[in-house]
Amino acid sequence: MTIIIKIDQQHGHIYILEQLDSKTALVAPDKVPMLEKLVKEHIQKHMPDVEGSDIE
């Protein structure tokens, strides 16, 4: 499953736009580390009860 997300870095928002049953990578490989960091930070900030291992 692929999740398309939009990152609004200015306001710190992450939007899940759509879910696709596809193996297509919609995030450029060089952006993945930044994306993982932003998603983890977003989850920790807005959903603090989610365990770190569940975020991986």
- 1-56 pLDDT, tens digit each: 456 777 776 766 666 665 555 555 556 667 777 777 877 787 777 777 766 555 54
Provide the whole-model pTM. Answer: 0.40
Q: Give the contacts of 50 (CB within 8 A, at least 6 positions apart).
A: 43, 44
Tally of structural domains, the chain? 1
Q: What is the pLDDT of residue 50?
A: 62
Separation CA 38–CA 7 (nearest Å): 8
Q: What is the pLDDT of residue 40?
A: 78
What Rg value do the Cα atoms of the chain yield, rounded?
A: 12
Q: Which domain, by its residues, includes 32?
A: 2-55
